[in-house]
């Protein structure tokens, strides 16, 4: 029966991640080609694809020249795209299709790149079913399969889902180590942890916590410590081999972004307690659903009282990853992806404490809200993207050469030679020099300046507004205070024109 549940959960996870996999791409029009933007509306996807495009499997060149997050996922994307090209998936070489934004093949480049994250999602489901216990692993897998945030990240060219899969593997090996403490198991534990860190550096605190817990439970055997340390080194090098060739480039890239994150302007800095509260709320609304979140909290309390070796391992993983959320500084849902699996295991532990006749009903109740959020996201992903609709409207009504005050250059992707950037719509004081056109969006995390809103009401005409029709809002308790990467699929855009004097 467990195998039946596994195949059913894998099928559900796959079926939920395929319908919207082409979402959020700009149209292949001459204007967008001239804009030189190749990003989807899930920003940063183009950075990974551009990094993969700089390498070439045929030349045995696997250097993506992009060391911001970790290179394991980028290497996998490179292998997938070059493999798809060799198999005849693209009508033209995929690099040409990507950079030239060729109709049809450009979409296929993104789809193949995103399928790597889908494969990592399916791997995570399979790994969760391998955890010991009757209910914890299967429930965590089911929850992850229907989680809206995990589904959304699986349909992007991002590193988070692959890192999460490797982190789950690390935890699984650590738990199995308690019953089989062979040198090979210690080595596997380290290799899995090294791969997780190479997937995304933010896994480092969770990997460290899992390794320390595993070694502590075995009373820190010196051979085990050395073998695990060697495994971490080997795993990281396997996922980021160019660390051996370009260590300074890795350091410089990581240091640059770490410095930028650490020096957030005071007006945008979020106090630590508030930041963790926002992550918890986002997990309950956009990742787990409130019933599963409450079950996870109950599971943590129960594990703190029971304190079995597996409990200590899971608690170490949860707390180890939660720690890294503080220096990341932003309450983005993609930062919470590993916790979907880890807290899902905790919720499964709580379910195991109920009689069998209760478990199935509670499982259904716990899965309804995340499934509703996922269905809503698929609806948005398959609807015309508001940024594309606004792009077409701007081309129709805004005279070439007009400056447009807006938040980002990429959404919608406007040719800056034709529509130069006006003052930043969020940060600038528009009252000093009101731009001829202004474009607002719901993507902002902070409210617009009161003087900007007053200026738009008094001195501008509303020309166009595009937003997706909201459905199943009960599944996430609405959209209020949603992080901007949740709104990538259905952000609203409003265009204003300054009134004549």
pLDDT single digits (tens) 428-446: 999 998 999 999 999 998 8
Q: How many helices (H) and strands (E) does the chain have?
A: 20, 4
CB 409 within 8 A of CB 450: no
**Separation of alpha carbons 266 and 466, rounded Å:** 33
The reply to whether 432 falls in a domain is yes
9 class by beta-carbon count within 10 Å (0-12 exposed, 13-18 middle, 19+ buried): buried
Q: Is 300 exposed, middle or buried (0-12, 13-18, 19+ CB in 10 A)?
A: buried
Q: How far apart are CA 54 and CA 73, in angstroms?
A: 15
Three-state SS at 405: strand
In a domain, 19, yes or no: no
Distance of CA 385 to the CA centre of its chain: 19
Q: Measured between alpha carbons, how far is residue 117 from residues 45, 157, 344, 363, 476 in Å?
A: 12, 7, 19, 26, 24
Each residue's pLDDT tens digit in the chain (501 positions)? 889 999 999 999 999 999 999 999 999 999 999 998 999 999 889 999 999 999 999 999 999 988 989 999 999 999 999 999 999 999 999 999 999 999 999 999 999 999 999 999 999 999 999 999 889 999 999 999 999 999 999 999 999 999 999 999 999 999 999 888 899 999 999 999 999 999 999 999 999 999 999 999 999 999 999 999 999 999 999 999 999 999 998 888 888 877 777 777 777 788 999 999 999 999 999 999 999 999 999 999 999 999 999 999 999 999 999 999 999 988 999 999 999 999 999 999 999 999 988 999 999 999 999 999 999 999 999 999 999 999 999 999 999 999 999 998 889 999 999 999 999 999 999 999 899 999 999 999 889 999 999 999 999 999 999 999 999 999 999 999 999 999 999 999 999 999 987
Tell me what pLDDT residue 47 has.
93
The answer to whether residue 455 sits within a structural domain is: yes
Q: Mention every residue, 6+ apart, whose C-beta is less than 8 A from residue 104.
A: 28, 91
CA–CA separation, 412 vs 252, rounded Å? 31
Q: Residue 341 and residue 144: Cα distance in Å, rounded?
A: 6
pLDDT at residue 66, rounded to an integer = 87
473 in a domain, yes or no?
A: yes
Provide the strand spans (E) within 226-268.
none
Please give the Cα distance from 411 to 422 (Å, whole number): 14
Residue 270 lies in a domain: no
Query: Is this model's pTM higher than 0.85 or not?
Result: yes
Query: Could you list the residue range(s) of the whole structural domain that residue 488 is in?
Result: 383-498
**What is the domain count for the chain?**
1
Reduce the DSSP state of residue 354 to 3 states and report it: coil
Please write the tens of the pLDDT for every residue from 35-86. Answer: 989 999 998 899 999 999 999 999 999 999 889 899 999 999 999 999 999 9
Asked if residue 408 is part of any domain, the answer here is: yes
Three-state SS string across 63-82, please?
A: CCCCCCCCCHHHHHHHHHHH
Tokens representing residue 32 in the block: 């967008």
Cis amide leading into 218 (omega within 30): no
Q: Which residues of 112-129 are buried (b: 16+ CB within 10 A; e: fewer)?
A: bbbbbbbbbbbbbbbbbb
Question: Is 395 inside any structural domain?
Answer: yes
Paired sense of beta strands 404-405 and 437-441, if any: parallel
Report the C-alpha gap between 70 and 196 in whole angstroms.
Answer: 9
The answer to whether residue 430 is domain-embedded is: yes
């Amino acid at each position: 029966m467990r195998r039946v549940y596994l195949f059913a959960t894998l099928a559900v996870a796959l079926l939920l991640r395929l319908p919207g996999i082409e979402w959020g791409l700009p149209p292949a029009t001459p204007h967008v080609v001239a804009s030189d933007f190749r990003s989807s509306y899930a920003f940063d996807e183009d950075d990974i694809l551009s990094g993969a495009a700089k390498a070439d499997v045929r030349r045995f060149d696997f250097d993506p020249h992009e060391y911001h997050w970790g290179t394991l996922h980028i290497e996998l994307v490179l292998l997938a795209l070059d493999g798809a090209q060799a198999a005849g998936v693209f009508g033209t070489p995929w690099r040409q299709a990507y950079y030239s934004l060729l109709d049809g093949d450009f979409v296929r480049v993104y789809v193949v790149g995103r399928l790597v994250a889908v494969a990592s999602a399916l791997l995570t489901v399979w790994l969760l079913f391998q955890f010991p216990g009757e209910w914890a692993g299967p429930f965590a897998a089911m929850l992850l399969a229907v989680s809206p945030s995990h589904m959304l990240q699986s349909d992007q060219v991002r590193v988070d889902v692959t890192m999460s899969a490797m982190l789950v593997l690390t935890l699984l090996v650590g738990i199995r180590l308690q019953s089989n403490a062979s040198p090979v198991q210690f080595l596997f534990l380290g290799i899995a942890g090294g791969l997780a860190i190479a997937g995304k550096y933010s896994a480092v605190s969770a990997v460290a916590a899992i390794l320390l817990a595993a070694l502590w439970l075995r009373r820190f055997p010196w051979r085990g410590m050395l073998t695990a340390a060697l495994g971490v080194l080997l795993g990281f090098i396997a996922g980021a081999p160019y660390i051996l060739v370009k260590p300074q480039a890795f350091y410089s890239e990581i240091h640059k972004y770490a410095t930028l994150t650490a020096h957030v302007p005071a007006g945008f800095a979020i106090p630590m307690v508030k930041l963790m509260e926002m992550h918890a709320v986002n997990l309950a609304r956009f990742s787990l659903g409130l019933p599963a979140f409450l079950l996870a909290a109950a599971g943590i309390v129960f594990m703190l009282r029971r304190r079995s070796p597996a409990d200590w391992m899971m608690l170490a993983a949860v707390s180890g990853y939660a720690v890294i959320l503080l220096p990341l500084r932003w309450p983005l849902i993609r930062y919470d992806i590993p916790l979907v699996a880890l807290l899902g295991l905790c919720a499964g532990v709580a379910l195991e404490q109920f009689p069998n006749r209760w478990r199935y009903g509670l499982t259904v109740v716990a899965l309804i809200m995340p499934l509703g959020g996922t269905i809503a996201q698929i609806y948005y992903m398959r609807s015309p993207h508001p940024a594309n609709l606004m792009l077409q409207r701007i081309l129709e009504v805004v005279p070439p050469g007009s400056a447009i005050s807006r938040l980002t250059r990429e959404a919608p992707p406007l040719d800056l030679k034709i529509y130069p950037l006006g003052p930043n719509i969020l940060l600038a004081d528009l009252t000093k020099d009101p731009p001829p056109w202004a474009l607002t969006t719901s993507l902002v995390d902070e409210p617009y300046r009161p003087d900007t809103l007053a200026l738009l009401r008094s001195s501008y005409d509303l020309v166009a507004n595009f937003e997706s029709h909201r459905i199943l809002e009960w599944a996430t308790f609405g959209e209020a205070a949603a992080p901007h990467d949740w709104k990538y699929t259905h952000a609203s855009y409003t265009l204003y024109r300054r009134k004549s004097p």
